[in-house]
Amino acid sequence: MGTPQTREKHEGRFAALYNDAYADVLRFVQRRAGPHRAEDVVHEAFLVAWRRFDDVPAGMDDARAWLFGTAMHCLLNDQRSHSRQGALEVRIAEVTKEITASEDDLVAFRVDLSRPFPVVGA
């Protein structure tokens, strides 16, 4: 971010964007993801905005639009991640049903978690 003056300017712009847009972006994400994931997704969107602040448009309206787009991308990433996690949980549950209680079987049995699996909705 360069000089201390530049950093202060960035921090001020970021704080203004956060104060102006946080509640609206949170409601936007809550309508699409529900309240249980929304805050994490919104925080990720603001983290992206902070890290890529040079890419954020200077005007507040344009910055808000950029932030909403970023929040949507973060939401889609979160949904894909949860789909993969759910699919992995199903695979592990199916595999554990096949394993007997014998210790020798547990040692000999290998779960291939490196194999890709389809993502629902991708």
Could you report the per-residue pLDDT of 72-112, keeping only the tens digit for each? 999 999 888 776 676 666 677 666 666 554 555 555 555 55
Q: Could you report the per-residue pLDDT of 15-55, keeping only the tens digit for each? A: 999 999 999 999 999 998 888 889 999 999 999 999 999 99
Q: Per-residue DSSP letters for the chain?
A: --SHHHHHHHHHHHHHHHHHHHHHHHHHHHHHH-HHHHHHHHHHHHHHHHHTGGGS-SSHHHHHHHHHHHHHHHHHHHHHHHHHHHHHHHHHHHHHHH--S-HHHHHH----TTS--PPTT-
**Top-tier CATH class for 4-83:** mainly alpha
